[in-house]
Amino acid sequence: MKLSLVAVGGLKNQHVAALCDEYVKRIGRYARPKVIEVRESRRGSPEQRRSEEATAITSALPKGSMFVLLDERGKSFTSRKLASYISERTVRGISHMAIVVGGPYGVDPALRKAADLVWSLAAGTLPHELARMLALEQLYRALTINAGAPYHND
C-alpha cells in the first residue's frame, strides 16, 4: 500500500522532525510512504486561510487515493481497530491512502465533507506538528500489527 501524509506547513521543531523522519523510515518496511507539504496560508481571515489551504491540499492529494482527514471531531480508533481498518481497505482494493493534517486554523468544512474518513487522534486539539508525528506513529503501529511484528504490546 502507498501511504501519503499531506500536511499544511513544514516542521519547525527539529525533535518532532526527527521523530517524523524515523517513523516514515519505519513505515517504509511495510508500505511506500511519502510526505507532501503544502504552504500554510498567511493572509486573510481564518476562513480565507482554510479555504486557500483546502485548495492546496486538494491539488496535492494523489489521484485515486483514499482521503483521510485528521480532525478532533472524527472517528477514534484503538491501535488494533486502526490496523483492522487499514487491512480491510487493502482487501477492498484501496492501494493508496492519503492522510491530511490541516494547519493551525483547522480545515475548510468542504474539505471535511469530501473526506472518505475523518480520523481523530485525540478528543482535544493537537498542535499540527504533534498530530503529524502521532499519525505517523499510529500508522506504523497499525502496519506492524498487520504484519505480526512485535512493536505493539497488548
Output the tens digit of pLDDT for each of the chain's 154 residues: 999 999 999 999 999 999 999 999 999 999 999 999 999 999 999 999 999 999 999 999 999 999 999 999 999 999 999 999 999 999 999 999 999 999 999 999 999 999 999 999 999 889 989 999 999 999 999 999 999 999 988 7
Q: Is 108 inside any structural domain?
A: yes
Lookup: cell for 142: 497499525
| Cβ-contact 133, 16 below 8 angstroms | yes
Residue 53 has a pLDDT of 97
Assign residue 15 the CATH number of its domain: 3.40.1280.10
Q: Are the C-beta atoms of 61 and 117 separated by less than 8 Å?
A: no
Task: Give residue 153's pLDDT.
Answer: 85
Query: What is the rounded distance in angstroms from the CA atom of residue 57 to the CA atom of residue 44?
Result: 18
> Is 152 within the bounds of a domain?
no
Give the integer Cα–Cα distance in Å for 31 and 1.
5
12 inside domain = yes
In a domain, 26, yes or no: yes
Report if residue 154 sits inside a domain: no
* pTM (2 d.p.): 0.94
Q: What are the CA-CA distances from residue 98 to residues 10, 46, 148, 151 (Å)?
A: 17, 24, 23, 23
Residue 64 within any structural domain of the chain: yes
State which residues form the domain around 143.
2-147
Q: Quote the CA–CA distance of 71 and 76 in Å, as a whole number.
A: 10
Amino acid in the structure at residue 57: I
